[in-house]
Amino acid sequence: MKVKATDIGQMASASEVIFEALREAITQGEVKEGEALRQDRIARMFNVSRIPVREALTRLEEQGLVSTQRYRGAVVSSLSIAEIEEVFEFRALIEPEVLRLAIPRMSEAALARAGDFAASFASEPDSARWGELNRRFHYALYEDSARPYYLSTINAALDRVDRYSRAQLVLTDGMARAQREHEQILAAVVARDADQAAALTREHILAAGRSLVDFLSRSRAGEKAVLAG
Amino acid sequence: MKVKATDIGQMASASEVIFEALREAITQGEVKEGEALRQDRIARMFNVSRIPVREALTRLEEQGLVSTQRYRGAVVSSLSIAEIEEVFEFRALIEPEVLRLAIPRMSEAALARAGDFAASFASEPDSARWGELNRRFHYALYEDSARPYYLSTINAALDRVDRYSRAQLVLTDGMARAQREHEQILAAVVARDADQAAALTREHILAAGRSLVDFLSRSRAGEKAVLAG
DNA sequence: ATATTGCAAATTGGATCCAAAAAATAGATG
DNA sequence: CATCTATTTTTTGGATCCAATTTGCAATAT
């Protein structure tokens, strides 16, 4: 995991830096699910004591990204397929509504930014950055909704499932399909057709969820077969 | 605030006990918004050092119940009227959907429990317990939805706004109206009419939100007048 | 009287240390 | 050789201590 304090803010406390680094590492899939996060090891990584590490782990646990058992330490939480499905179902309920609320008040600047992010997918070879680009594209469309609470719940939901999407996007045609759907959503937003944009967003999220669940079902079944055989 | 470790669980760590006690105290309105939560004072209350207190405050900050500035300590976050409106709007989007999902699979036991909670409002003189009864009533209706993530977001939303509702329920007829609406929702659920139950739940939440926002607008305007005059 | 500067008290973030619990390892026993 | 038990090692939750920062107050200047 990368340690870059400057990216986070000039006067960020150690625990904030560690929290952001760990959150990034988990959502990016750099630390695998079930992997133990030892306080002492992380503390040495950052040249600090275990105190700020514990604060970071507490935050991560509150966000549901790690789970902790008394005296047994923190492990990256692994979501069942049902739990992943639920997060996509949740997003499919929330995000179309936020987009609907944003459209009447959307600035040209935000719309242009969304267009730039949508276009940048095509020229981005690093699959590790697709998740971030996707998030920024949708965020640009949502931000003028003036609904900070909704946006925070969307971000929390994305943090939970992002790490599962990466492999699927690389190994299937998921990325190409997502790009096409982004263009369709964008066209509906440009036309200020809130109903259409919301419906397309809902389908976009549900389709992504179905693809991911399908992909994970296959790969997890494969893992079990390997382990058994 | 009450310190009752036994209520929370046999082997709960100190920080968990403190977290629950502070969360309860904040959501119940026992500590006022803007009030500073001094680590040392809380530590002495519970006869522990500041370390577990800091962990509890970290959790509360992650949940949005307190906000912290470096070296300036934690204060109970105060929500603007717009933010309170947003939470009710969010609940009005989520909760009807959860109820809709729960109805086809709802057990008789859960339905009976919801009925008991609905009835218990009438005989509960302590207004401090109304919020909890309300939460349990709705939770009984939602729990068979098998959507733990939705339920956790609903609980987080309720934690944010519960403390604002108490005074309003006592000083207006909000409680009586809520009771009537609960009975109507219950009837729709008994009839397994998911559309009707969802619509009633949405209206129930939106009406509660409107009442609360109206009440707070008046009382905050009054406060300003007092401060100015 | 009011604004300003300097110092002391209060408060927090973090380091170091300690005790309790769990995991790992070695030894005894069938 | 496998299994159970005792002991050592790891690891965590919490206590105590320290340094950095803010806040409150008093003395001073205007």
| Residues pairing with B66 in the sheet | B76
Taking CA A176 as the corner, what is the angle to CA A173 and CA A182, rounded to the nearest 5 degrees?
135
Q: First CA to last CA across chain B, in angstroms?
A: 34
Residue A101 shares a structural domain with residue A198: yes
Residues 18-77 of B with CB under 7 A from strand D: 47-52, 55, 70-72
Q: What is the mean pLDDT of residues B82-86?
A: 97
Contact B168, B174 (CB under 8 A): yes
pLDDT recorded at residue A6: 41
Residue B111 shares a structural domain with residue B63: no
In tens, the pLDDT along B147-156 reads 999 999 999 9
In tens, the pLDDT along A100-128 reads 999 999 999 999 999 999 999 888 888 88
Min distance B123 CA to chain A CA atoms (Å): 35
Residue A222 shares a structural domain with residue A109: yes
Residue A164 shares a structural domain with residue A91: yes
**Mean pLDDT value across chain A:** 91
| Residues pairing with A66 in the sheet | A76
The beta-carbon neighbor of A86 closest among B55, B87, B147 is B147
| Residues pairing with B76 in the sheet | B66
CA A190 to CA A188: how far, in whole Å?
5
Rounded, the Å distance between the CA of B76 and C1' of D11 is: 34
Neighboring chain B residues of A89 at a CB cutoff of 8 Å: 147
B115: its two tokens: 């009925």
Residue B61 shares a structural domain with residue B109: no
| CA B89 from centroid of its chain's CA atoms | 15
Is the per-residue pLDDT at B9 higher than 70?
Answer: no
Say which residue the tokens 């108490």 belong to: B166
**CB-CB under 8 Å, A58 with B148:** no
| CA B41 from centroid of its chain's CA atoms | 26
pLDDT recorded at residue A67: 96
In tens, the pLDDT along B170-213 reads 788 888 899 999 999 999 999 999 999 999 999 999 999 999 99
Residue A132 shares a structural domain with residue A189: yes
Among residues B26, B59, B76, the one where a domain terminates is: B76
Domain count, chain B: 2
Is the per-residue pLDDT at A176 higher than 70?
Answer: yes
Min distance B69 CA to chain A CA atoms (Å): 11
Taking CA B166 as the corner, what is the angle to CA B176 and CA B143, rounded to the nearest 5 degrees?
75
Min distance A116 CA to chain B CA atoms (Å): 29
**Mean pLDDT value across chain B:** 91
Residue B120 shares a structural domain with residue B61: no
| Residues pairing with A37 in the sheet | A74
Q: Which of these ranges, A55-59, B4-8, B43-47, B82-86, has the smallest mean pLDDT?
A: B4-8
Bridge-based pairing of strands A73-76 and B66-69 is unpaired
Confidence of residue B61 (pLDDT cuts 50, 70, 90): very high
CA A138 to CA A117: how far, in whole Å?
9
Contact B102, B142 (CB under 8 A): yes
Neighboring chain A residues of B55 at a CB cutoff of 8 Å: 54-55, 58
In angstroms, the Cα distances linking B63 to A162, A227, B104 are: 21, 40, 32
Among residues A56, A76, A96, the one where a domain terminates is: A76
Residue B182 shares a structural domain with residue B104: yes
Neighboring chain B residues of A149 at a CB cutoff of 8 Å: 83, 86-87, 90
In angstroms, the Cα distances linking A13 to A26, A137, A201, B1 are: 20, 30, 38, 30
Q: How many CB atoms lie within 10 A of CB A225?
A: 9
Amino acid identity, residue A214?
A: D
The CATH number assigned to the domain holding B50 equals 1.10.10.10
Residue A142 shares a structural domain with residue A215: yes
Confidence of residue B127 (pLDDT cuts 50, 70, 90): confident
In tens, the pLDDT along A125-172 reads 888 888 899 999 999 999 999 999 999 999 999 999 999 998 888 788
Is the per-residue pLDDT at B77 higher than 80?
Answer: yes
The answer for residues whose C-beta is within 8 angstroms of residue A204's C-beta and 6 or more apart is: A178, A181, A182, A185
- The count of C-alpha atoms lying within 13 angstroms of the C-alpha of B229, restricted to the half-sphere facing its C-beta, is 6
What domain range is B143 assigned to? 81-228
pLDDT recorded at residue B173: 80
Rounded, the Å distance between the CA of B150 and C1' of D2 is: 49
| CA B217 from centroid of its chain's CA atoms | 20
pLDDT recorded at residue B224: 55
pLDDT recorded at residue A52: 98
- Complex prediction ipTM: 0.91
Residue B54 shares a structural domain with residue B136: no
B→A contacts (Cβ < 8 Å), by residue, are 11, 13, 51, 54-55, 58-59, 62-64, 70, 83, 86-87, 89-90, 93-94, 97, 147-150, 152-153
B101: its two tokens: 């999902």
Residue B141 shares a structural domain with residue B161: yes
- Residue (of B116, B149, B110, B68) closest to A86 by Cα position: B149
Among residues B76, B96, B129, the one where a domain terminates is: B76
Q: What is the mean pLDDT of residues B110-125?
A: 92
**CB-CB under 8 Å, A11 with B153:** no
In tens, the pLDDT along A181-200 reads 999 999 999 999 999 999 99
In tens, the pLDDT along A38-60 reads 999 999 999 999 999 999 999 99
The CATH number assigned to the domain holding A119 equals 1.20.120.530
| CA A184 from centroid of its chain's CA atoms | 22
Q: Which of these ranges, A6-10, A60-64, A154-158, B159-163, has the smallest mean pLDDT?
A: A6-10
CA B52 to CA A28: how far, in whole Å?
30
Residue B38 shares a structural domain with residue B103: no
Higher pLDDT, B21 or B9: B21
pLDDT recorded at residue B11: 61
Is the per-residue pLDDT at B25 higher than 90?
Answer: yes
